[in-house]
Structure 1
């Protein structure tokens, strides 16, 4: 098990960062390694971002010291996406099968969490939880679908809400997946901030040579991070978060904070961006 801890960073500090420092603080570059669970603990709403690759053998979710409880889910909930292959999660011995594109909501109070599957790769996000909601598997066709964007603005995309109040109960975790249509590049534009919630963008399904230019920072002090396949970006509430790719890609977004209102966004006018 590998875990890294990231402190919360303010806008004043971020203005002084060069490329290497921005990547060190906000980019999670290595999430997947065969036979391992890799995690990053962020002090942004105490979110844990992780990847698990069973590689043919059962792989139990460990409880790292930053969690501070005997079991990982004693005071936490988890959203798990299968992003490649097929496999299963065993929750206290109950096995739930997942295909690529499926999501599993793991509630507070779950004891043992075991990842299984010879070719499966799992991406997960965990946030603190105050009560236990029912476990729920959400297939791709069960998520709430929104077709968004315009050809003229190069932002045609399909957004699916998986862990969302209209789909399944959760304490604060909200998760979904967005897929960019062929010929489009932007994943969110105009951009926005929401100081009530932090967010994580996990980019995947990128070709080897494809990169996404992820934009962050204050609207008046924007920065960018170049992101490759299966990398994630931590986004504080004060920062914009949007990206443009050099080829097709998808991303899984997750939010945590004061509310679960997906439409609670403070949009930024194009003329105010710098």
Structure 2
């Protein structure tokens, strides 16, 4: 498991392009037949991806990094399948996940295994795990059952649909908040005007992009922004002090995941466009 230590905005002002990518990007989320994971010290979030290719499956392991006897001993996890049909076994329960379906697994489940479905269209399980102090029930929410929230406009180039999976009025959790934003064709902007939430860190994972497509992901303090050039199926760590916004060369979809002190969407500090630099 890769380790990323937390950073501060004063240091970030002096980072080169390579240093920005080394500290804030997970460039390879998926590898066939493996589970890739990154431990971010920002609110102790674990980001990962699994592509199971054999019927033996891929088991989520605590590894030496967590210093626990099993992965979810003191954690919870949210999983979204971005590929073909696949299966997740949680102790003695089995959950079938199609593309964009979500599965939440609460603290205390000892065995989590990812299994493949259609070999011609591999399942790709993207997940984010956060610390947990209480056990909540394991729950699946299929994309067809998720409530869509339509926002934006063609005029502003940000017509999009937001699906909230894990949050106070949806699947219950301790810290994790998880959802997905799908931009309509010919739209490219997300999360603009920008905001920060100083009590929560956030992870953006971009996917459903063409091979040559890119997203210019903007980060940094509002008065001194930076950008990262993001390809398909890459993730970005957004510290609590940073904005998180993007514009693509084409439409795209991204999964957002948050954790921290507050469990609400109302603690955002919006940044006026005239204050962005």
Partner of 2:9: 11
Residue 24 of structure 1: CA displacement?
0.4
Deviation at 1:145, TM superposition (A): 1.8
Q: 1:265 aligns with which of 250, 264, 268?
A: 268
* Superposed displacement of residue 264, structure 1: 2.2
Report the equivalent of 1:64. Answer: 63
Counterpart of 2:222 in structure 1 is: 219
- The 8 Å contact of residues 144 and 167 in structure 1, kept in 2 or not, is answered as no
Residue 42 of structure 2: SS of its match in structure 1?
Answer: coil
2:194 to 191, 196, 199: 191
State the Cα distance separating 1:151 from its structure 2 match: 1.8
Corresponding residue number in structure 2 for 1:73: 72
What RMSD in Å do the two structures reach over aligned CA positions?
A: 0.8
C-alpha separation between the residues in 2 aligned to 1:151 and 1:86?
Answer: 32
Say if 2:70 is the partner of 1:84.
Answer: no
Deviation of 1:40 (Å):
0.3
Q: Distance in 1 between matches of 2:253 and 2:266?
A: 21
Aligned residues: 272
Q: Which residue of 1 aligns with 2:258?
A: 255
What is aligned with 1:107? 106
Other-structure match for 1:179: 182
Equivalent-residue separation in structure 2 for 1:263 and 1:152 (angstroms): 26
Question: Deviations 1:130-172 (Å, cap 9, x if unpaired)?
Answer: 0000110011122232111122211111010001111111000
User: CA separation in 1, counterparts of 2:25 and 2:115?
Assistant: 27
In 2, distance between residues paired with 1:193 and 1:272?
Answer: 13
Separation in 2 of the partners of 1:143 and 1:45?
27
SS in 1 for 2:144: helix
Give, in angstroms, the shift of residue 47 of structure 1: 0.1
Aligned to 2:167: 164
| Equivalences for residues 98-137 of structure 1 within 5 A | 98-118=97-117, 119-137=122-140
TM score, norm. by length of structure 2 = 0.97
| Alpha carbons 1:143, 1:167 under 8 Å: kept | no
Task: Tell me how far apart the structure 2 counterparts of residues 250 and 64 of structure 1 sit (CA, whole Å).
Answer: 31
SS at structure 1 position matched to 2:29 = coil
Q: Displacement of 1:269 after TM fit?
A: 0.4
SS in 2 for 1:237: coil
Q: Which runs of 4+ in 1 moved over 4 A?
A: none
Does residue 209 (structure 1) correspond to residue 228 (structure 2)? The answer is no
What stretches of structure 1 of length at least 5 have no aligned partner? Answer: none
Q: Distance in 1 between matches of 2:171 and 2:31?
A: 30
Please give the secondary structure, in 1, of the residue aligned with 2:202.
strand
Match of 1:50 among 36, 48, 51: 48
